[in-house]
Structure 1
């Protein structure tokens, strides 16, 4: 197996070291992390039932509106 040397900061080194499992190499840690990333195009077609998607999207919009109202109330209480 070929190998390449890379340069990383001390901070990243420490973070990778913490993520290491017993007997796992740095390459193993990086491979595991990168495998978790998903390509958004893998999910195309997942919402074939557009009614379900619409209600899901509507729920998100309602939650965001509710969060914005709560944020505004908190900000108003600070300025009073």
Structure 2
């Protein structure tokens, strides 16, 4: 086991992503796991058009906010 120091902002971001029963180590490993594109095949097959439109709108809004922050 190793101890690391992170900023309060990083802690809060990880805390928001933490699932019930998950440790912070679990969150970090989940987020940093290299995945194959094939792992995502079929993930959206049960999503109807309305849900897909809503998700795409949220993704576009998040991308816009992120791109403005990084300028």
What is the TM-score of this pair, normalised by structure 2? 0.47
Q: Which has the higher contact order (CA 8 A, sep 6+)?
A: 2
More helix by share: 1
Please tell me whether Structure 1 or Structure 2 has the larger radius of gyration of its CA atoms.
Answer: 1
What is the TM-score of this pair, normalised by structure 1? 0.42
